């Protein structure tokens, strides 16, 4: 005699409470909207850095990164941020399991500060 381990489940959205369906819909909408908004902010930051470099206000990022890479001695580069109001970069590294933040002047490429 065959034995069935699983029973078919017939679930319909109509049978769920409206508040649960609304909560699920809102969560899905937020999960799509938040990365899109973050990507837009990141793009604006990149555009500002590029404009500043083309206008001669800051050095190319590759030159600044090379200087900072030499100063952090073998740390792994994670990412960076650009502050257009001060023309400064904040670079993020990981070394020995600890996060290291390095602030660099975009005009000169000099390291302004370092924090763990």
Domain positions in the chain: 44-115
Say which CATH topology domain 44-115 has: Nuclear Transport Factor 2; Chain: A, (3.10.450)
Tell me the CA distances in angstroms from 80 to 2, 54, 83, 100, one per residue in order. Answer: 61, 19, 10, 12
How do residues 48-61 score in pLDDT, each as one tens digit?
888 888 988 899 99
What's the predicted TM-score (pTM) here?
A: 0.61
> Is residue 100 a contact partner of residue 92, using CB atoms and an 8 Å limit?
yes
How do residues 4-21 score in pLDDT, each as one tens digit?
555 555 655 556 567 666
Nearest CA-CA partner of 65 in 106, 25, 31: 106
Nearest CA-CA partner of 88 in 59, 47, 54, 55: 59
Count CB-CB contacts under 10 A for residue 90. Answer: 16
Residues of the chain with pLDDT under 70: 1-17, 19-42
């Amino acid at each position: 005699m065959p034995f069935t381990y699983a029973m078919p489940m017939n679930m319909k959205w109509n049978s769920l409470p409206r508040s649960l369906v609304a909560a699920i819909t809102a969560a899905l909408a937020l999960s799509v909207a938040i990365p899109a908004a973050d990507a837009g902010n990141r793009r604006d930051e990149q555009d500002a850095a590029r404009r500043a470099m083309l206008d001669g206000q800051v050095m190319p990022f590759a030159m600044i990164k090379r200087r900072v890479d030499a100063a952090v001695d073998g740390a792994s580069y994670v990412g960076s941020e650009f502050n257009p109001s001060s023309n400064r970069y904040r670079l993020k590294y990981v070394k020995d399991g600890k996060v290291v933040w390095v602030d660099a002047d975009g005009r000169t490429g000099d390291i302004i500060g370092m924090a763990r």
